[in-house]
Amino acid sequence: MSQFEVVRDPLWNNIHLDREALAVVDTPAVQRLRYVRQLGHAFLVYPGATHTRFEHALGAYHLARRALTQLEESGARIEPHDAQRIRLAALLHDIGHYPFSHALEEAGLPAHEGLAQRHLADGALAAALAELGVSADSLLALIRGPEGGGGEAREPLAGLVAGSLDVDKLDYLSRDAWMCGVPYGVIDVDRLLASLTLAAGRDGRPTVAVHEKGLAALESLLFAKYQMYRNVYWHHAVRSATVMFKRLVRRALADGHLRADDVAVATDDGLLQELQGRDATGLACALRERRLAKRAVDAPATDLPDDTADWPAGDPDLLERVEGRLAREVGLHPGELFLDFPAKPAMLGLDLPLVRRDGSVAQLSGGEAAAPPNSTARRGDCACSPCGRRRFRR
């Protein structure tokens, strides 16, 4: 009989961890995720949003197991070694994540998927994978997905780890909504999993697909993602805390008080404590006490020129120079004004085969047109620090 343990989860109830999962979970790299909150500073707005990357990793693993079982029941032939790699890639997909969600990637640090290699190739986690006979390179390719991976990222089951309908999205949208106490992330996960199958993709090779009977559930996922960005991830106070934190970390890195390599393996509270001990900006204390910058100007993306769509989110050095110049123009001190224009995700994007009831296969693609034409989800904000607000009013 195979060894396993049961973890009680508030979202999925019982999560079964088998021998391979236990060997991986009980390593320092995975245990660090217990101390990295899933939603960064969202807990300053939604007090329940203190769940961690560790819980999310277990949830993604659980859904990967369920998805693989469903595919086998639908007739797919899955080799045990392939199923093992998919389960472990789902469990480890956030292994390289920075503290405080995606804020540090916005601040100019490398994407967390790339940092996964550091953990997969060295230390106790690498030893555990080697003992299981699992290639770290193959897991890394699955985690990075088709844009950054090798051949493994294009194998039939890779879409379960990084794709339009991956277990990452199914868990984080459901879990984030549950923990924040909002009704926006409601997804019919059972129906979606029951609709999974394999079908020919764009290149003619088999890939993860959805049956037509699950189309309504798929639409619920897309709408849930839109609503969660609008109401939670891009909530103005969450974004205010995020831009303050980005400024704080960039200053500490520039002054030599932090090293990027150390940030990559830090925990939320550990990093904030380190920053607070050497902070000359006052931002660390302000974040700790929830004294957030307030909006002075707010505009939806549709009201901004086309050329502002990318550089505020993609060029943090340029953004900081523009913030400084604008602060001087309105009579504020440097560091008292923040511009925020979050990176645009593939909000409703799809690239997924749809198996119709008659057996024919259509390709679901695009999806951005499904968003409301005058959507106000993505907005540009200009915010002032507490001290700067007083001067701004005068």
Residue whose tokens read 């640090």: 109
Evaluate whether residue 184 is within a structural domain.
Answer: yes
**DSSP string computed for 203-236:** TSSEEEEEEGGGHHHHHHHHHHHHHHIIIIIT-H
Rounded to whole angstroms, the Cα distance separating 33 from 28 reads 9
Q: Is residue 117 part of a domain?
A: yes
**Interacting residues of 3 by C-beta distance below 8 A, sequence separation 6+:** 18, 19, 22
Q: CA-CA distance, 318 to 315, in Å (whole number)?
A: 6
Residue type, 295: R
What is the CATH classification number for the domain harbouring 139?
1.10.3210.10
Q: For residue 299, what is the enclosing H or E element?
A: strand 294-300
All residues at 6 or more sequence positions from 277 whose CB lies less than 8 Å from its CB, including other chains: none
Instruction: Give the pair of three-digit tokens for residue 22.
Output: 């236990």
Distance of CA 330 to the CA centre of its chain: 35
Question: 384-387: long-range contacts at Cβ-Cβ below 8 A with a sequence spacing of 24 or more?
Answer: 384/293, 384/294, 384/296, 384/332, 384/336, 384/337, 384/338, 385/244, 385/283, 385/286, 385/293, 385/335, 385/336, 385/337, 385/338, 386/286, 386/291, 386/293, 386/294, 387/333, 387/336
Question: Long-range CB contacts (< 8 A, 24+ apart) of 109-112?
Answer: 109/260, 109/263, 109/264
Give the pLDDT score at 373.
40
In a domain, 326, yes or no: no
Give the Cα separation of 201 and 6 in Å (integer). Answer: 36
User: Does 54 map to a domain?
Assistant: yes
For residue 92, is it within any domain?
Answer: yes
> Distance between the two ends of the chain, CA-based, in angstroms?
74
The total of structural domains in the chain comes to 1
Q: What is the pLDDT of residue 113?
A: 73
> What is the predicted pLDDT for the residue at 312?
77
- Residue 85 maps to a domain: yes
pLDDT tens-digit series, residues 314-349: 788 898 999 999 999 999 988 899 999 887 766 567
Q: CA 290 → CA 47, 253, 281, 385, distances in Å? A: 12, 23, 15, 12
Q: Is residue 171 part of a domain?
A: yes
In angstroms, the CA 347 to CA 234 distance is 13
In this prediction, the residues of the chain whose per-residue pLDDT falls under 50 are 1, 368-374, 390-394
Domain of 128 in residue numbering reads as 4-195+210-234
Give every CB contact of residue 37 below 8 A, 6+ residues apart in sequence.
43, 49, 50, 51, 52, 53, 100, 101, 268
Asked, for residue 204, whether it belongs to a domain, the answer is no
pLDDT, tens digit, 9 for 90 and up, residues 204-247: 899 999 999 999 999 999 999 999 999 999 999 999 999 999 99
